[in-house]
Structure 1
């Protein structure tokens, strides 16, 4: 009986209002924690997107001849450096500033004061700008003047990419882009990033012309093999890894949808590579590692627009068709005598356009909706007209102003590592290639 009285007394004591426990975490604290987690996710995604520069550098440097390795690496490195500054100075404002016209942003140039959340988005988008810019680097490799390329890269980072981005994604403040207002779907940038970069590459290779020896006088096609396929393979793996940040972090929120986005991304890349392999086997051709890697990248590009708005089955279908495009279009490019060293126009330009269309075709809940598809086609066409048109003009102007966009035949034969940078990527093996003289020592 005494024990029961003691227990009853303890119960009454604990249940009294004076002992009531207040919630440890308030609604304000929960919101702050959520914003902090979102910030960590977006910044981590931006870091992964920055890592794509390493992937591009390895693929491009491995795809060129050894005498042009340093030149390609330098272009990739400066895409991130100069591109970052230019995007901060003018690109971010044009893309995400107050946009009352639907065409361009008019504020937040060289931003120095913003709230904490918008710094995250600026950093994330700065990495996207570098990706869009560097796509053209590999396509135009082995024959473009380094300074001319850097100027064109600044135009892409500061003008071409941000303005189309303003149409499709802007603004973060007041107003919105005209394509965005129509309902254009491009979740992570199949067109905004990749097709724009691909169309810039197309303009560049048309103005430059093919490399010496790429095509014969009688229509023959000569394959100029890259010097290091292991670098290409490593670059492919790095890009694939970084693409999870590219797509999944485009949620700009740490939420449960990340898993399906990452899965769709992976499935599309796998499907594209497998379809390339099967198509090649059916044709009785050799299954090339370079073609397999490009196919997987084409699948990644294609799923980027619709990775958040389609089911895994249609992600596989999107990637599979990209595998067909990567198998067929490079041959057509060769017939047109267009020399794209890394097939950037196919992988990024055409696969990006297909992915944007697929995002409309396979939009979950409203599949094959004619209104959605029409807006997607309009966005694809607008991207081509803007990206290719402005880039073509820029390359033509640079060709006139700088006395030639392309290096001389002698410099192209000797290699751009030596003639543009006074360095050799493999000095113990390249003395005979570069006609070693005292000139290289003097330039140091």
Structure 2
């Protein structure tokens, strides 16, 4: 009898050890995505503001990370009434998620999701937002706003979780949340100087280093294979599921890149490589919600749609005079919305197109609209309050000269004359 008990204990410890290694590796890969955000966004802005982007991403990690540790994680995963939790910090109690890893390691992988969500905003406010005002918003976002959405979607008692809402790795909770916050922030901030001519027509402001942006895109692409498969939160017993998730993640991203290439070629007469980078990311965002319950063909279709949708959205957003230097709203907000709804259409079990009826689709629509509206409205209110108090926009002379030289006393390329 003692041997049986010993064997069971050893087996449990072995499972925990394997799952701990898996989650730790995926968490580290997800953390590396911040480097992708930094390079992508820096490449898409002008050289005079490249270092300000790096500073904002550092703020995402440091300010946002501590805010999520001290307050946010408890709101997201503590004992919940369905809408918010009451715990502070990282509890040692069972979170009800069936974890085989420690709560602290679970916090670390969830940290990657929280700072990814706020890093979406950093691109949309590039080249014109005050760094300290941005830091205040990061703290609010990572301590309260994102954790509330995470609570609804992933806490076992969250109201969306109880409805059967499927957002496996965060098309809604991370990407729509960040994307609609980016939309509100860009509206309150207003466009960059010179972005629109006297007739209100958009003027192109090219990024200063597109290869740098491409490298950032590749790092994000790589990171997504920690982001989505890592959301299994364990390797033991999930071998088949991990393979499905990784395959669907790649197929949608490749399809997104292909459709953007073809769409821009036939629309503009040449392939838009910068838009293709965003097309790949759009496919990744769109498949993130349902990567666990889609078949391969559906993942490809979702990616193909996302790759076209991102270009259409970028042009539309520009036309209505919302200045988003990196396309964050189109990539994350629009395709987070689309990808979440697509689960209700394409899910192999329960999707409308697969004979499952409209129940899942209705749940998906409700969930993503509530999350998107919540993020937009609260961000709009917070940014407006900050605008009327401490101010959120750099002054005209600083914006003209470049934030790097004025606010940080350093330029990205100091050897250039």
- Shorter chain as normaliser: what TM range? over 0.9
Partner of 1:428: 415
Question: Do 2:294 and 2:348's aligned partners in 1 also have CA atoms closer than 8 Å?
Answer: yes
Q: How does 1:20-419 map to 2 (within 5 A)?
A: 26-99=7-80, 101-107=81-87, 109-111=88-90, 113=92, 117-171=102-156, 176-254=157-235, 255-256=238-239, 257-368=241-352, 369-402=357-390, 404-419=391-406
Q: Shift of the alpha carbon at 1:24? A: 12
TM normalised by structure 1 equals 0.88
Partner deviation per Cα, 1:125-183 (whole Å, 9 max, x = no partner): 11111100110001110000011111111111111100011111114xxxx01111111
Q: Distance in 2 between matches of 1:220 and 1:388?
A: 25
Greater shift, 90-99 or 24-33, is seen at 24-33
Question: Do 2:168 and 2:231's aligned partners in 1 also have CA atoms closer than 8 Å?
Answer: yes
Asked which structure has the greater CA Rg, the reply is 1
Partner deviation per Cα, 1:308-349 (whole Å, 9 max, x = no partner): 011111000111110111121111111101100001000000
Partner deviation per Cα, 1:345-403 (whole Å, 9 max, x = no partner): 0000010111101112111222202010000000011012110011001100110110x
Q: Distance in 2 between matches of 1:111 and 1:168?
A: 19
Q: Distance in 2 between matches of 1:130 and 1:415?
A: 26
Q: Distance in 2 between matches of 1:182 and 1:82?
A: 33
Q: Secondary structure of 1:283's match?
A: helix
Q: Shift of the alpha carbon at 1:23? A: 8.4
Q: Secondary structure of 1:327's match?
A: helix
Q: Shift of the alpha carbon at 1:282? A: 2.1
Point out where structure 1 has 5 or more consecutive residues left out of the alignment: 1-21, 431-444
Partner of 1:15: none
Q: Shift of the alpha carbon at 1:77? A: 1.1
Note the aligned Cα RMSD (angstroms): 1.5
Q: Shift of the alpha carbon at 1:285? A: 2.8
